[in-house]
Amino acid sequence: MITFILPIRNEEHFITKTLDSILSQSDDNVEIIIADGLSTDGTREIIQSFQESNHNIQLIDNPEKIVSTGFNRAVTMAKGDIIIRVDGHSEIAPNYINRCITQLQNINADCVGGATDHIALGVIGQSINLGQSSKFGAGGVPFREGVDKGRYVDTLAFGAYKREVFEKFGGYDEELVRNQDDEFNFRLIQNGGEIWLDPSIKSKYFARNSFIKLFKQYFQYGFYKIRVMQKRRAFASWRHLVPGIFVLSLFVGLFLCFINNSPTLITIIGVPYVLLSLIFSIAELFKSPKHVFSIIFLPFTYFILHFSYGLGFLLGILYYWNKWNNTEVKDAHFDKVLFLENA
Give the pLDDT score at 238. Answer: 75
**Angle at the Cα of 66 from the Cα atoms of 49 and 47, rounded to 5 degrees:** 5
Give the pLDDT score at 140. Answer: 64
Asked whether residue 144 carries a pLDDT value surpassing 80, the answer given is no
Span 272-298, pLDDT tens digits: 999 999 999 999 899 888 889 999 999
What mean pLDDT comes out for the span 1-20?
95
Span 66-95, pLDDT tens digits: 999 999 999 999 999 999 999 998 999 999
**Which CATH code fits 2-120+140-207?**
3.90.550.10
The model's pTM: 0.89
Span 332-342, pLDDT tens digits: 999 999 999 98
CA 331 to chain centre: 19
- CB neighbour class for 52 (10 Å; exposed up to 12, middle 13-18, buried from 19): exposed
Judged by DSSP in three states, 293 sits in helix
Span 306-326, pLDDT tens digits: 999 999 999 999 999 988 888
Give the pLDDT score at 40. Answer: 94
Asked whether residue 169 carries a pLDDT value surpassing 70, the answer given is yes
Asked whether residue 261 carries a pLDDT value surpassing 70, the answer given is yes
Please state, in angstroms and rounded to a whole number, the distance separating the CA atoms of residues 118 and 115: 9
Give the pLDDT score at 143. Answer: 62
Long-range contacts of 321-330 (CB under 8 A, 24+ apart): 323/227, 323/230, 324/230, 326/230, 326/231, 327/230, 327/231, 327/232, 327/233, 328/231, 329/170, 329/173, 329/187, 329/231, 330/173, 330/174, 330/175
Between 26 and 29, name the one with better pLDDT. 29
